[in-house]
């Protein structure tokens, strides 16, 4: 009896769909979207057959089926909402990470925020000529200054560098080579053709984000434990 009823309902669904599709010269999707009286009646019959088929197939597991349907409906709704507000959610996550993880660059367009690290410095990751480089903000440095290791990582020709510029470091006075970096990006801030220096081997511990980059910005400021940089529009 159950199998016969199931097949009868399946046949009813098939016949209802066939009637709905054949009721117009339009395509199947267009027929399903029609709202005239005739198509509405066929849709009601189709819905009744589909509902009956679901009840027959899941009559002994109806509660589990309803729970599964509700679960996946909620998951689908969350995915739709998440996709619709993906850019806003990314900004929220960035800001939360900036507060919880010192050195994390939270960016919104050409605006960037960085929280001071436990050492008291503003450490961050920049992309120089496409390579990731760990840097420390140094407003006392007149230029961006790179270590030998960083210069090699970004593809500078170390063998042809000429160390003719006098610089003062924590280890005393040394010499550095003047270079021009194709691109420095910090979050959404990108500056091109930035003057920089490459320190002699062993003379510099950290890469310094100095004034030759900061002076390119529309503004930058340190408020408490937060560094805020704003790029030109």
Total domain count for the chain? 2
Alpha-carbon span 162 to 178, nearest angstrom: 8
Task: Look up residue 53 and give its two tokens.
Answer: 């088929």
pLDDT at residue number 149: 95
Give CA–CA dist 80/72, Å, rounded. 12
The answer to whether residue 81 sits within a structural domain is no
Asked if residue 82 is part of any domain, the answer here is no
| 94 and 190 housed in the same domain | yes
> What residues make up the domain containing 101?
89-230
Which of 76, 98, 133 corresponds to the end of one domain? 76
Same-domain check for residues 101 and 212: yes
Cα–Cα distance measured from residue 56 to residue 157, given in angstroms and rounded to the nearest whole number = 75
User: How high is the pLDDT of residue 92?
Assistant: 59
For residues 45 and 140, membership in a common domain is answered with: no
Q: Which of 23, 46, 76 is the last residue of a domain?
A: 76
> Is 26 in the same domain as 137?
no
Q: Are residues 64 and 102 in the same domain?
A: no
Do 51 and 165 lie in a common domain? no
CATH number, domain containing residue 106 = 2.40.70.10
- The residue among 55, 76, 97 that closes a domain is 76
Question: Does 119 share its domain with 142?
Answer: yes
Whether residues 41 and 99 share a domain: the answer is: no
| Calpha distance 169→181 (Å, rounded) | 21
Per-residue pLDDT of the chain in tens (233 residues, 90 and over written 9): 456 656 665 666 566 666 655 555 444 444 444 445 455 566 666 666 666 666 666 665 666 666 666 666 677 777 776 666 655 556 655 656 555 555 567 667 778 888 887 778 888 989 999 899 999 999 888 999 999 999 999 999 999 999 999 887 656 678 899 999 999 999 888 999 999 999 998 888 899 999 999 999 999 998 888 888 998 87
**Tokens 């979050």, located at residue:** 187
Q: Indicate the pTM of the whole model.
A: 0.58
Answer yes or no: is 83 within a domain: no
Same domain, 171 and 108: yes
In-domain check, residue 151: yes
Q: Note the Cα 56 to chain centre separation in Å.
A: 46
Distance CA 199, CA 60 (A): 77
- Contact between 111 and 230 under an 8 Å Cβ cutoff? The reply is yes
Q: Are residues 59 and 165 in the same domain?
A: no
Q: Is residue 110 part of a domain?
A: yes
């Amino acid at each position: 009896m159950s199998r016969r009823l199931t097949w009868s309902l399946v046949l009813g669904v098939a016949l209802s769909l066939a009637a709905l599709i054949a009721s117009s010269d339009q395509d199947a999707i267009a027929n399903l979207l029609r709202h005239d009286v005739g198509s509405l009646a066929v849709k009601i019959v189709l819905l009744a057959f589909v509902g009956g088929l679901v009840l027959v197939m899941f009559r002994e597991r109806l509660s589990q089926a309803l729970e599964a349907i509700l679960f996946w409906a909620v998951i689908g709704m969350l995915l739709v909402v998440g996709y619709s507000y993906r850019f806003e959610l990314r900004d929220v996550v960035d800001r939360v990470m900036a507060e919880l993880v010192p050195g994390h660059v939270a960016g919104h367009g050409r605006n960037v925020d960085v929280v001071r690290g436990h050492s008291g410095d503003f450490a961050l990751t920049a992309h120089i000529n496409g390579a990731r480089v760990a840097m420390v903000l140094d407003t006392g440095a007149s230029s961006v200054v790179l270590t030998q290791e960083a210069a090699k990582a970004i593809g500078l020709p170390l063998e042809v560098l000429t160390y003719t510029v006098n610089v003062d470091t924590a280890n005393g006075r040394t010499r550095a080579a003047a270079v021009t970096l194709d691109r420095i990006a910090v979050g959404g801030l990108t500056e091109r053709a930035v003057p920089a220096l490459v320190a002699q081997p062993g003379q510099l511990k950290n890469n310094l984000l100095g004034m030759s980059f900061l002076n390119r910005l529309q503004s930058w400021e340190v408020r408490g434990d937060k560094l805020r940089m704003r790029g030109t529009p």
